[in-house]
Amino acid sequence: MSLTGFVEFFQKGKTFRPKKRINEGTLRYSLYKQAQASLNSGINLRDTVKLPPGEELNDWIAVHVVDFFNRINLIYGTVCEFCDSKSCPTMSGGSRYEYLWADGATYKKPTALPAYQYISLLMDWIEERINDESYFPVSSDVPFPKTFGPLCKKILTRLFRVFVHVYIHHFDRIIAISAEAHVNTCYKHFYYFATEFNLIEPKELEPLVEMTKRLCKDIDYSKDPGPRIR
Ligand SMILES: [Zn+2]
């Protein structure tokens, strides 16, 4: 499944919110294009997430965080009309997991919210940060802030919760529009990326651990060279 196909597929539907663009002509734009090209080449997804030689890790993480934000936004956009305070009164992942929202501003204490509201606040919170040049510098001459790593961990940890909610509560809708292969590819890419750079704590990944075992079977050739021909 090519990434271009994936994006075109979801652009037919309505978008939850506008897409964040990576400015054309910048170094990071060429890195973004490079990452897309390798995804489209059909090579092992686990390999496509590895940092290309000579590239800066923060640049690599920045383009992926923006890309995952856009793609998860599109995925949620396809189910959001089925996600309201009646269908999903809490931000849950089955009966075992419930997420509470806190942002240190409007919600100082962790607060139970309907999933739609939680995801809306979560996306706003991420959007604000990826559009803020003091967090995500646009020019590659401007250094990343020291807080960039922890911030990206928090962004990806929160984005993962959208996957949890969509997979556990709205996968019927994804199947109804034949989007499961697209969503699974996006999930695998996200999972390989986050685990390659330890950006999400293992306990946060628990709600989807069984599904991940079934889905994420691409072999890591850098760790396992596989059978050799003698
Ligand atoms: Zn829902």
Q: Where are the domains of the chain?
A: 35-216
Instruction: Report the chain's C-alpha Rg in angstroms.
Output: 18
Q: Any binding-site annotation on 165?
A: yes
Q: What pLDDT score was predicted for residue 221?
A: 67
Buried b (16+ CB within 10 A) or exposed e, 146-183: eebeebbbbbbebbbbbbbbbbbbbeebbeeeebeebb
Q: Give me the mean pLDDT over the 117-143 stretch.
A: 92
For 93, phi and psi rounded to 5 degrees? -130, 85
Distance 174 CA to ligand 1 centre (A): 12
DSSP collapsed to 3 states, 177-230? CCCHHHHHHHHHHHHHHHHHCCCCCHHHHHHHHHHHHHHCCCCCCCCCCCCCCC
Q: What pLDDT score was predicted for residue 2?
A: 46
Mean pLDDT of the chain: 85
Distance 3 CA to ligand 1 centre (A): 25
Q: Any binding-site annotation on 83?
A: yes
What's the pLDDT band for 16 if we cut at 50, 70, 90? low
Q: What pLDDT score was predicted for residue 106?
A: 93
Q: Which amino acid is located at 165 in the chain?
A: H
Task: Answer yes or no: is pLDDT of 12 > 50.
Answer: no
Q: Any binding-site annotation on 80?
A: no
Q: What pLDDT score was predicted for residue 160?
A: 98
Distance 40 CA to ligand 1 centre (A): 31
| 35-216 carries CATH number 1.25.40.10 | no
Task: Answer yes or no: is pLDDT of 74 > 90.
Answer: yes
Q: Which helix (H) or strand (E) holds 93?
A: strand 91-93
Task: Answer yes or no: is pLDDT of 127 > 60.
Answer: yes
Q: Give me the mean pLDDT over the 86-108 stretch.
A: 94
Percent of the chain exceeding pLDDT 90 equals 66
Angle between helix axes 27-40 and 57-79 (nearest 10 degrees) is 60
